[in-house]
Chains A and B, each alone.
Chain A
Amino acid sequence: MEEMKSLQVLDRFRGLFVKMGVDYPVMRRIVQVKLTMDARRVPTLVNKSKKKSQNETEDGNQFLRSLWLYVIFGGFSSMFVLMGDNLLFEASILFGIIMFMVMTAMISDFSSVLLDIRDRSILATKPISRRTLTMAKTVHIFIYLFFLTGAVAVIPLAVGLFRQGIGFFALMLLELILMDLLIVVLTALLYLVVLRFFDGEKLKDMINYVQIGMTITITVGYQVLVRLFDFTAMDIVFKPEWWQYLLPPVWVGAAFHTLLHPNGGLTYVGLAALSIVVPLAAFLLYLKLMPALERNLQKLAEPSTKSSQSSGKALRRLSDWLCSTPQESAFFRFAWALMGTEREFKLKVYPSLGFSIVFPFIFLFSNGLDQGLEGISGTRTYLFIYFSGIMVPSLIMMLRYSSQYKAAWIYRTAPISGEAPIYKGALLACLVRLMLPLYMAEAAIFAVLFGASILPDLIVAGVAMQGFAILCFVFLRKGLPFSEPFEAAGQQNQTLVIMGLMLLLGGFGLLHWLATTLPFGVVAYGILMIVGTWLGWRRAFRTRETKKEETPDGI
Chain B
Amino acid sequence: MMTTTKDPVIKLANLRMSYGGRQVLNGVDLEVYPGQIIGYIGPNGAGKSTTVKIMLGLVEGYQGEVQVFGQHPGDGDASYMKRIGYVPEIAELYDTLTAREYLTFIGELYGLSTDEAEMRARRMMTEFSLGDVFNSRITTFSKGMKQKVLLISSLLHNPDVLFLDEPLSGLDANSVMVVKEMLALLAAQGKAIFYSSHIMDVVEKISSRIVLLDGGRIVADGSFDELKAQNHEGSLEQIFNQLTGFNEHQDIAGRLVSIVQEV
Chain A residues proximal to chain B, CB less than 8 Å: 1, 26, 29-30, 33, 36-37, 40-41, 44, 47-48, 52-56, 118, 120-130, 199, 295, 298, 302, 305
Cβ contacts A to B, 6 pairs, < 8 Å: A48-B140, A121-B88, A124-B57, A125-B57, A126-B78, A305-B20
The docked-state distance in angstroms from the alpha carbon of A302 to that of B59 is 11
* A26 and B108 within 8 A (CB): yes
Instruction: Name, among B57, B76, B98, the residue most crowded by chain A CB atoms within 10 Å (CB to CB).
Output: B98
Please tell me which one of the listed residues A36, A55, A126, A298 contacts residue B110 in the complex, with CB atoms under 8 A apart. Answer: A126
* B78 and A130 within 8 A (CB): yes
0/1 per residue, B84-106, Cβ < 8 Å to A? 10101010111011100100011
* B140 and A302 within 8 A (CB): no
Q: B135 interface residue, CB < 8 Å from A?
A: yes
* B20 and A199 within 8 A (CB): yes
Write the chain A residue with the least CB distance to B140: A48
* A56 and B135 within 8 A (CB): yes
The docked-state distance in angstroms from the alpha carbon of A48 to that of B138 is 11
* B88 and A37 within 8 A (CB): no
The docked-state distance in angstroms from the alpha carbon of A302 to that of B81 is 23
* A302 and B19 within 8 A (CB): yes
Q: How many A-B residue pairs have CB under 8 A?
A: 91
Q: Taking A26-B109, A121-B88 as contacts, is the C-beta distance between A127 and B59 under 8 angstroms?
A: no
* B135 and A126 within 8 A (CB): no
> Besides A29-B109, A128-B78, 8 other CB < 8 A contacts?
A1-B101, A29-B105, A33-B101, A47-B139, A118-B94, A121-B88, A124-B57, A127-B110
Q: B60 interface residue, CB < 8 Å from A?
A: yes
Please tell me which one of the listed residues A29, A55, A125 contacts residue B136 in the complex, with CB atoms under 8 A apart. Answer: A55
Looking at the assembled complex, report how far the CB atom of A107 sits from the nearest CB atom of chain B, in whole angstroms: 23
Q: Taking A127-B80, A127-B110, A129-B76 as contacts, is the C-beta distance between A37 and B58 under 8 angstroms?
A: no
Q: Which residues of A contact B59 (CB under 8 A)?
A: 298
Q: B46 interface residue, CB < 8 Å from A?
A: no
Chain B residues proximal to chain A, CB less than 8 Å: 19-20, 22, 53, 56-60, 76-82, 84, 86, 88, 90, 92-94, 96-98, 101, 105-106, 108-111, 132-133, 135-137, 139-140
Q: Taking A127-B79, A127-B82, A130-B76 as contacts, is the C-beta distance between A120 and B58 under 8 angstroms?
A: yes
Write the chain B residue with the least CB distance to A25: B108
* A125 and B108 within 8 A (CB): no
Closest 6 CB pairs of A and B: A127-B81, A126-B109, A127-B82, A40-B96, A53-B136, A121-B88
Please tell me which one of the listed residues A54, A120, A128, A295 contacts residue B135 in the complex, with CB atoms under 8 A apart. Answer: A54
Please tell me which one of the listed residues A40, A48, A126, A199 contacts residue B106 in the complex, with CB atoms under 8 A apart. Answer: A126
Q: Which residues of A contact B57 (CB under 8 A)?
A: 124-125
Instruction: Name, among A1, A33, A130, the residue most crowded by chain B CB atoms within 10 Å (CB to CB).
Output: A33
The docked-state distance in angstroms from the alpha carbon of A124 to that of B60 is 13
* B88 and A126 within 8 A (CB): no
Please tell me which one of the listed residues B22, B109, B132, B140 contacts residue A128 in the complex, with CB atoms under 8 A apart. Answer: B109
Please tell me which one of the listed residues B81, B101, B139 contacts residue A36 in the complex, with CB atoms under 8 A apart. Answer: B101
Q: Which residues of B contact A55 (CB under 8 A)?
A: 98, 136-137
Write the chain A residue with the least CB distance to B94: A37
Write the chain A residue with the least CB distance to B74: A295
Looking at the assembled complex, report how far the CB atom of A295 sits from the nearest CB atom of chain B, in whole angstroms: 6
Q: Which residues of A contact B139 (CB under 8 A)?
A: 44, 47
The docked-state distance in angstroms from the alpha carbon of A1 to that of B133 is 16
The docked-state distance in angstroms from the alpha carbon of A130 to that of B81 is 13
Q: Which residues of B contact A305 (CB under 8 A)?
A: 19-20, 22
The docked-state distance in angstroms from the alpha carbon of A484 to that of B190 is 48
The docked-state distance in angstroms from the alpha carbon of A123 to that of B57 is 12
* B137 and A118 within 8 A (CB): no
The docked-state distance in angstroms from the alpha carbon of A40 to that of B136 is 13
Q: Which residues of B contact A127 (CB under 8 A)?
A: 78-82, 109-111
Write the chain A residue with the least CB distance to B154: A125
The docked-state distance in angstroms from the alpha carbon of A1 to that of B108 is 14
Write the chain B residue with the least CB distance to A32: B105
Please tell me which one of the listed residues B58, B60, B98 contacts residue A56 in the complex, with CB atoms under 8 A apart. Answer: B98
Write the chain A residue with the least CB distance to B77: A129
* B86 and A125 within 8 A (CB): yes
* B56 and A125 within 8 A (CB): yes
Looking at the assembled complex, report how far the CB atom of B162 sits from the nearest CB atom of chain A, in whole angstroms: 12
* A295 and B60 within 8 A (CB): yes
The docked-state distance in angstroms from the alpha carbon of A128 to that of B90 is 22
Q: Which residues of B contact A41 (CB under 8 A)?
A: 96
* A126 and B81 within 8 A (CB): yes
Write the chain B residue with the least CB distance to A1: B101
